[in-house]
Amino acid sequence: MITVRFTVFGGVSARVDGRVTEFGATRLGALLGVLLVGAGEVVTADELVERVLGDAPPARARAMMRTWLTRLRQTLPGLVERDGAGYVVRVDPLEVDLHLFRHLVRAGRTAEALALVTGEPLSTLDTPWAAQHRAGFAAELLAARLDHVDDRLARDEHAALVPELRALAEQRPLDERVAAQLIEALHGSGRTQEAVRHFEVVKARLADELGAEPSRPLAALHRRLRSASAPRQLPAPPKPFTGRAPELAQLDRAPTGVVVITGTGGVGKTSLAVHWAHRAADRFPDGQLFVNLHGFGPSGAAVSPGDALLRLLSALDVPRAKVPHDLAGQSELLRDALADKRVLMVLDNATDTDQVEPLLPRTPNAHVVITSRTAIKPAHAHSLPLGLLPPDDARELLASRIGHDRARAEPEAVDTVVRRCARLPLALAVAGARAATQPEFPLAALADELADLDAFADDDDVTADLRSVFSHSCKALSPAALRLFRLLGLVPGSDISLAGAASLAGLAVPETEALLAELARANLLDEPETGRFTCHDLLRDYAAELALDSERDEALHRLLDHLALTSVEAGVVFTPSRRRPATPEPATGVVVTRFHTHEEALTWLMSEHPALMAAMPHGTPAQTWLIGWSLADVLDRQAHYRDLLTSQQLALAALEQLDDTDGLGRTLINLGRGLARVGRLDEATAALERAFDVYEGDPAGQAGVLLNIAMLCPDDRIPQALEYTRRGLALFEECGDEYGQANALTGLAWGYGKIGEYGKAIEHAERVMVKWRAMGHVIGQAETWDNLGTAYLGLGEHEKAAEAFTRSAEHFRLGGDRPLEAAAYEELGDTHAAAGDAELAREAWQTSLRLHAEAGLPAERLRAKLQPERQ
């Protein structure tokens, strides 16, 4: 049987029994292609002339056509037949790739259909009819592609589709189907916030360019994503939870506003708040926020209102770039962020009214539940005192932990345990865990053991009763687990990682992991997130009391060694261009974690950020300064400016006790940066000037200080900034520091561009570009292209400026700096506008607008530039 296949995609060809005839850009190929597109249909001679030769054919067009038809019949016998006034190819349409494509699309086999498309149909034929046909097929092809995307989304290929759909969305920025698919792909790959931001970008484009609102399907998708992207920060609900029916009813009835649950430690305030919050979550579709304020932790390191606000704003996806430095501004921003949202906020373990007042949104639909051991009284708050569990509820709580059959078998023992646990949920949980781990152990024996501890109890001191229960549970631990429990009471922060716990104990990680699991089974430890461990602050207090003097100092030193040395590893990977500080050998038993990627380092530094800050006052001078060095860059880039300043002040105090000139100089530079971030410019300048003196005899150190001083100069003092930078360059050249020279030259190119000396800006930019390329420094090249673009734009050389800003944007994208990529596209748009090309300007600004939205940056200036286009 003869097999025949024809192609019109990417050029016309025929395959007959494996023999291929390529027609190329010939009239014969054009003629065959026209007939194959209409396979099975009669095409008149006049139609053939128009489709093959165009609207203005030569005088002998019909004679030429007859000649070509004769040659085609000779080449492919039996293919073309005369039919009345026209011609037809006698083939099965499914033997032609174009018709097979359409058949497969109709059958829902889009992957097979798309695999056939190797180019445009009739790509070698340049006539109006062919162009029109290609345009029509482009719409068919797009529809098939989007159908195939729908199929892949249904197969959960979300992450793989994101790059493809991003590119398609850039090509078709107003196509709502493409927008919806990209939004679905982002959401399905766990990037819901990006999905919501892309919707906002599309909504703005539709309004700016068409004066239209998003379609109903796209708007419905946005509503669904908004719900999916709402913060869900509540801890897991307590299990089991027993009783508290009156208090739950009061929480249900409380009007939207502020409720304060007060009571003694261990009485179950947090359990009540979290249990009710989960039960009421549906009332707050815009999210549930949770912050542990650590008001009564053993370290005394309560969370400051500023830090709590940063956590809340971050959970609400408020960009750090928009967060003010002052507490009042942050409080106002939180109110703005919650203005139209139905949100529940749980503020756990508060110290006093001053700690919580700045966190209260006071918006109509936001509801706040606060827990505290003290009777704090924010304005217009509803108070809910929490007493001991009623006896029946206390018995039920214990029974739910040890098993109801066992409880019914020994009712008197249950009553005794409940009484000696003072009806406190925390004590009952610990005692119940002890009994549950030994089901063969008579409950009466447990009650008798608690009785032996009555000497520790005090009717007026609930904590004393808890201490008795804790003591009994600790007796059931293995010696190694008990030792680890004691040591955990020394931890400066509120939680600890597995590697940190191993270092604290001086044990191998697997052994430590097994001991932590034993403590968790005894209800003496929680693992709120994988790999991080914490416990109730009363348990931590008790553990600290048990710690032996002989083990305290060495254990704490090992933990601080782990934090300091691991933070250096993370800091070096986070900012590879920084020179690694000298580090001591770790103490025996210390685990030092290594990192391979920037993302790994960032994740660790931010996870350990609270622990590192809490550890700094307890470290040796060397440990404290190393932690401060490691935190400087990440706290600056993540906009934790108060912690940046505090960490560098602590590091500086530590270095005053060390003979480390380089470390002192570096810390003074970081301190100057922190002071500048909070607006204390005079103090920042003084710190940098001191750093300059410290680096006397070290030209590279002094040069680095000069560049940092230059960065403090406002726009009206750019000539002074240039002078500092020139001095820094001279010093870097003196000591042969190539990286420093490149930084200085980049600063000079920027400064000359700012003051309009464009020739000098270009001279320095071209000189430094050679250095950045030799070092393979992508961001340095990006900044240099940007400086060249500024200079060329100032000189009116618009084509060169556009090229430079385009290259700058490309390099910033490669370097992963989306805000600066967005800025480069905005400058590219400004360049096109200056050149009088409104369409290209608009295109670049729209790209910049999208990048601003994806990075969560304000874009009012860009919107203003696009506004006139709607007139």
The CATH number of the domain holding residue 375 is: 3.40.50.300
Q: Using an 8 Å Cβ cutoff, are 790 and 784 in contact? A: no
Q: Assess whether 672 and 725 both reside in one domain.
A: yes
Q: Assess whether 755 and 839 both reside in one domain.
A: yes
Q: Assess whether 426 and 351 both reside in one domain.
A: no
Task: Write down which residue in 166, 201, 229 finishes a domain.
Answer: 229
Region of residue 759 (left: phi > 0; alpha: psi -120 to 50; beta: else): alpha
Q: Assess whether 186 and 283 both reside in one domain.
A: no
| pLDDT at residue 176 in the model | 87
Q: What per-residue string of b and e applies to 43-62 under the rule 16 or more CB within 10 Å gives b?
A: bebebbbbbbbeeebeeebe
Pair of tokens at residue 440: 């063969």
Exposure of 288 by Cβ count < 10 A (0-12 exposed, 13-18 middle, 19+ buried)? buried
Q: Assess whether 730 and 759 both reside in one domain.
A: no
Q: Assess whether 795 and 668 both reside in one domain.
A: no
Distance CA(173)–CA(179), nearest Å, equals 8
54 three-state secondary structure: coil
Q: Assess whether 657 and 715 both reside in one domain.
A: yes
Contacts of residue 825, Cβ cutoff 8 Å, sequence gap at least 6: 805, 809, 844, 845, 847, 848, 851
Distance CA(468)–CA(473), nearest Å, equals 9
Distance CA(750)–CA(768), nearest Å, equals 12
Instruction: Give strand pairing partners of 291.
Output: 347
Q: Using an 8 Å Cβ cutoff, are 386 and 419 in contact? A: no
What one-letter code names the amino acid at 645?
L
CA terminus-to-terminus distance, the chain = 67
Neighbours of 742 (CB within 10 A): 24
Distance CA(773)–CA(777), nearest Å, equals 6
> Backbone phi, then psi, for 714, in 5-degree steps?
-75, 175
Q: Assess whether 646 and 630 both reside in one domain.
A: yes
Q: Assess whether 606 and 718 both reside in one domain.
A: yes
Alpha carbons within 13 A on the beta-carbon side of 287: 20
Give the domain extent around 404. Answer: 391-475
Distance CA(17)–CA(631), nearest Å, equals 71
Instruction: Mark the ranges of the chain whose per-residue pLDDT is less than 70.
Output: 1-3, 226-229, 296-301, 319-321, 450-469, 472-473, 523, 537-538, 639, 815-817, 853-858, 868-871
Q: Using an 8 Å Cβ cutoff, are 75 and 27 in contact? A: no
Domain assignment present for residue 407? The answer is: yes
Q: Assess whether 225 and 249 both reside in one domain.
A: no
Task: Write down which residue in 737, 766, 797 finishes a domain.
Answer: 737
Q: Using an 8 Å Cβ cutoff, are 235 and 274 in contact? A: yes
Neighbours of 776 (CB within 10 A): 8
Domain assignment present for residue 783? The answer is: yes
Q: Assess whether 283 and 196 both reside in one domain.
A: no
Task: Write down which residue in 86, 109, 139 finishes a domain.
Answer: 139
The CATH number of the domain holding residue 830 is: 1.25.40.10
- Per residue in 607-622, pLDDT (tens digit) is 899 889 989 999 999 9
Q: Assess whether 218 and 320 both reside in one domain.
A: no
Domain assignment present for residue 527? The answer is: no
Q: What per-residue string of b and e applies to 577-601 under the rule 16 or more CB within 10 Å gives b?
A: eeeebeeeebbebbbbbebeeeeeb
262 three-state secondary structure: strand
Pair of tokens at residue 772: 């950045």
Strand pairing report for 43-44 and 86-89: antiparallel
Q: Using an 8 Å Cβ cutoff, are 609 and 647 in contact? A: no
Strand pairing report for 496-497 and 532-534: antiparallel
Domain assignment present for residue 468? The answer is: yes
| pLDDT at residue 1 in the model | 43
Domain assignment present for residue 511? The answer is: no
Domain assignment present for residue 500? The answer is: no
Exposure of 315 by Cβ count < 10 A (0-12 exposed, 13-18 middle, 19+ buried)? buried
- Per residue in 112-155, pLDDT (tens digit) is 888 888 888 888 888 888 888 888 888 888 889 999 988 888 88
55 three-state secondary structure: coil
The number of domains in the chain is 6
CA distances from 391 to 241, 243, 244, 370, 428 (A): 15, 10, 12, 26, 12
Contacts of residue 240, Cβ cutoff 8 Å, sequence gap at least 6: 397, 400, 401
Q: Using an 8 Å Cβ cutoff, are 671 and 678 in contact? A: no
Domain assignment present for residue 312? The answer is: yes
Q: What is the DSSP letter of 870?
A: G
CA 592 to chain centre: 26
Domain assignment present for residue 540? The answer is: no
Q: What is the DSSP letter of 231?
A: -
Alpha carbons within 13 A on the beta-carbon side of 661: 10
| pLDDT at residue 871 in the model | 37
Strand order in the sheet with 496-497: 496-497, 532-534, 526-529
| pLDDT at residue 472 in the model | 64
Q: Which of 492, 105, 161, 15 is nearest to 301 (CA)?
A: 492
Q: CA torsion, points 763, 764, 769, 770, in degrees to nearest 10?
A: 80
Exposure of 696 by Cβ count < 10 A (0-12 exposed, 13-18 middle, 19+ buried)? exposed
